[in-house]
Structure 1
Amino acid sequence: MTTMNRRHFLLASIVLLPAMPAWAGMLKGSTPLTGQREQGVWLAVQQLAGLRLTKPEEQTQIVFFFDPNCPACAKLWQWFDTMPRRDVASMWIPVAYMKPTSEARAIALLRTADPYAALAQNFLTFDAAAWEGAMPPVKDATLAEQSSLRKNTRYWSRSLFGATPLILYRAKAGGIWQEVGLSDAADLDRLLSQLATARLSAYTK
């Protein structure tokens, strides 16, 4: 049986709960569970190492922070991996905290030439009982790869909120917004309906 320390237990409790707006509204401080974030947060996140599911001409609409061994993240991908959701311009940023294999598995995902296929491989045959993604962990991670992934994890835990899945998105009404936890499919679909367009507007004189 996998041994979990207290931090892992508390975070696992969060990721497996549905979103709870009333509880979120009680949180204070610089890293609220849900709410509007500064534009600088969005710009900083775009510089992290991630798997981009976008066309060359598109802007990212939504960002998902995930651990490759996170059961709630697997459910999130399984919801996302259907039409028309998979056409959303998204960025999937791996972090590593849930299990010893998380770092090497996340690096394997970042190495891939086909990010969509890699995420599908990891999450569509996810071992929910063992909390293990299906992507084989790398055995030769470089210092640069480890540093890049740890930068993801530091930013996520210190500047956002240390739980997965965590979602940032650009709203068509304006602003950058954060959500934490796995909502039901209807709530997630409503969130997608609020996204800003992936394409820059063409202005004419």
Structure 2
Amino acid sequence: MKIHPLLTAVFLATLALAGCDKTPAPAPAAPAASATATSDKAASEPVSIAAITASATGFTVGEPMAAHTVYVFFDAECPHCADLWEAAKPLKTEARFVWIPVGVLNQASTDQGAAILASKDPAAAMDAHETSMRAHLGGIKTTTDTSAQKAEVKKNTELMIRFGFDAIPTIVATNAQTGALVTQEGASATPALAKLLGLRIPFDQTNAPAS
């Protein structure tokens, strides 16, 4: 199922700014940490975790009984989303990460996001997908009917747009220390991610770059 043509056109109009377009391009000297897109901020609705839990569909990675939950809107075709996937792994004992696939870069975004959702083990499927993408093998392949999951990806995408977010990946959570709602558009290294979320930084990550 395709994203609405108007929404797709709006997203693709500025993706080149982040070097995460649907067509191959030379890598920039300093890659951006996200894939950008335009949205109508004035028409956006307030970001709400309640709305995410009520409307979005994703898969959970991390401690099931953790007191803190982090929501991540991601596109399966976005390399910066892959960076965040890796950066979040050391924090999975500190929080539950709910990964919510959206389709903004191209048709494969929707197809692959749906395939991951349809997998028996979405986290393992995501790992395999990212390994395949890094090897330039194209990522996860759809082998079954994923019409229902494509509908969920479309719904996730529409929710992200209503929130007025301009980039992927996008993080929505409450800070574990302050309880304040925090959002971030773009990837970051594990220490910076832990600071944003108010989580304990794993010992082996304390000397890693914070950006």
| Same fold, judged at TM 0.5 (above) | yes
RCO higher in structure (CA 8 A, sep ≥6): 1
**Preserved contact between residue 60 and residue 91 of structure 1 (Cα < 8 Å):** no
The answer to whether structure 1 residue 50 and structure 2 residue 58 are counterparts is yes
Structure 2: 5+ residue runs without aligned partners? 1-7, 21-30, 35-40, 201-211
Partners of 1:118 and 1:12 in 2: how far apart? 28
> After the TM superposition, which residues 30-179 of structure 1 pair with which residues of structure 2 at under 5 Å, given as runs?
41-47=48-54, 48-81=56-89, 83=90, 85-87=91-93, 88-127=95-134, 132=138, 134-138=139-143, 140-142=145-147, 144-171=148-175, 172-179=177-184
Partner of 2:27: none
Partners of 1:123 and 1:97 in 2: how far apart? 17
How far has the Cα of 1:11 moved from its partner?
3.0
**Preserved contact between residue 67 and residue 95 of structure 1 (Cα < 8 Å):** yes
Q: Quick one: which of 17, 27, 52 aligns to 2:32?
A: 17
| Count of residues paired in the alignment | 174
The range that moved more, 58-67 or 89-98, is 58-67
Cα 1:126–1:45 change in 2 (3 A) is same
How far has the Cα of 1:18 moved from its partner?
4.1
Structure 1: 5+ residue runs without aligned partners? 20-27, 197-205
Q: Quick one: which of 185, 188, 201 aligns to 1:183?
A: 188
Superposition TM-score, scaled by structure 2 size: 0.68
How far has the Cα of 1:114 moved from its partner?
1.6
The letter for the 2-side match of 1:76 is L
The letter for the 2-side match of 1:86 is K
How far has the Cα of 1:58 moved from its partner?
3.5
Partner of 1:23: none
**Considering only aligned residues, what root-mean-square deviation do their CA atoms show, in Å?**
3.1
Partners of 1:59 and 1:95 in 2: how far apart? 26
Cα 1:101–1:157 change in 2 (3 A) is same
Superposition TM-score, scaled by structure 1 size: 0.70
How far has the Cα of 1:104 moved from its partner?
1.3
The letter for the 2-side match of 1:146 is K
Partners of 2:104 and 2:81 in 1: how far apart? 13
How far has the Cα of 1:8 moved from its partner?
2.4
Partner of 1:25: none
Partners of 2:70 and 2:129 in 1: how far apart? 20
Partners of 1:113 and 1:129 in 2: how far apart? 24
The letter for the 2-side match of 1:51 is F
How far has the Cα of 1:186 moved from its partner?
3.6
